[in-house]
Amino acid sequence: MMETDNALVSRRSLLRIFAASTVVAAPTYAKAFGFLKGAGDVRRVHMYSGRSGETVNAIYWVDGNYIPEVVKEISHFMRDLRADSTIPMNPHNMDIIAATHHMLDTKEPYMLLSGYRTPATNAMLRSESRGVAKNSLHMKGMAADLRLKSRTVSQMAAAAQACSAGGVGHYYRSNFVHMDCGPVRTWAG
């Protein structure tokens, strides 16, 4: 398992989370447990960036191991495009993104609105919007703002909250959900 300085979520913890979600929220989230115990035990992210035109559709975890080259590729995809700057994204946030996408049972890729942000980009966005945190987890590679055309903010947020693995922000007016691998909490922006 790839280790980072950020908060770690063990595979066993994720399995417990998804097993509990399956029992509590079945049948809506019944696919979550199967996602982690499925054939070959793989995890995949599928996203595109409307800003850069890039797409990533990659298996980044197989049989209990993160694939460093793919995690690096996903981190590059999730870079701060304003500054063209990349840091290693926390793979546990990728786990949340992959699990929620799987639970939502859609082939549509997530639209990535924001992944990593440099402190300068975060400060600029903060000056333009009250919904940007001063110490945003985006600056630590632990967060993503995502959108799906085929699912509502409420549906996406419910899937992310079912993971009980990080923060979930509901941004109804802007039509996106913030998902991070920090402390478990929810808010509406």
Q: State the pLDDT at residue 41.
A: 84
Q: How many domains does the chain have?
A: 1
SS3 category, 68 = helix
Q: Is residue 43 part of a domain?
A: yes
Q: What is the model's pTM?
A: 0.79
Question: Cβ distance 144 to 90 under 8 Å?
Answer: no
Decide if 5 is inside a domain. no
Per-residue pLDDT of the chain (189 residues), as tens digits, is 443 333 344 444 444 444 433 333 333 334 443 444 433 489 999 999 989 999 999 999 998 999 999 999 999 999 999 999 999 999 999 999 999 999 999 999 999 999 999 999 999 999 998 888 999 999 999 999 999 999 999 999 999 999 999 999 999 999 999 999 999 999 998
Cα–Cα dist 88/86, whole Å: 7
Name the strands in the sheet holding 42-48, side by side, starting at the edge strand that comes first in the sequence: 65-66, 55-62, 42-48, 110-114, 143-147, 176-180, 167-171, 185-188
Residue 39 belongs to some domain of the structure:
yes
Nearest to 179 by CA among 104, 123, 125: 104
Q: What is the CATH number of the domain that holds 181?
A: 3.30.1380.10
**Any bridge partners for residue 145, and if so which?**
114, 178
Tokens 């197989």 belong to residue? 62
SS3 142: coil
Cβ-contact 47, 55 below 8 angstroms: yes
Whether residue 99 lies inside any domain: the answer is yes
Structural domain includes residue 50? yes
> Is 1 a domain residue?
no
How would DSSP label each residue in 151-184?
A: S-HHHHHHHHHHHTSSEEEEETTTTEEEEESSSS
CA–CA distance, 168 with 178 (Å, rounded to integer): 5
pLDDT at 135: 93
Cβ count near 75 (within 10 Å): 19
What is the model's pLDDT at position 8? Answer: 40
Query: What does the pLDDT look like over 147-184, one tens digit per residue?
Result: 999 999 999 999 999 999 999 999 999 999 999 999 99
Residue 102: domain span: 11-188
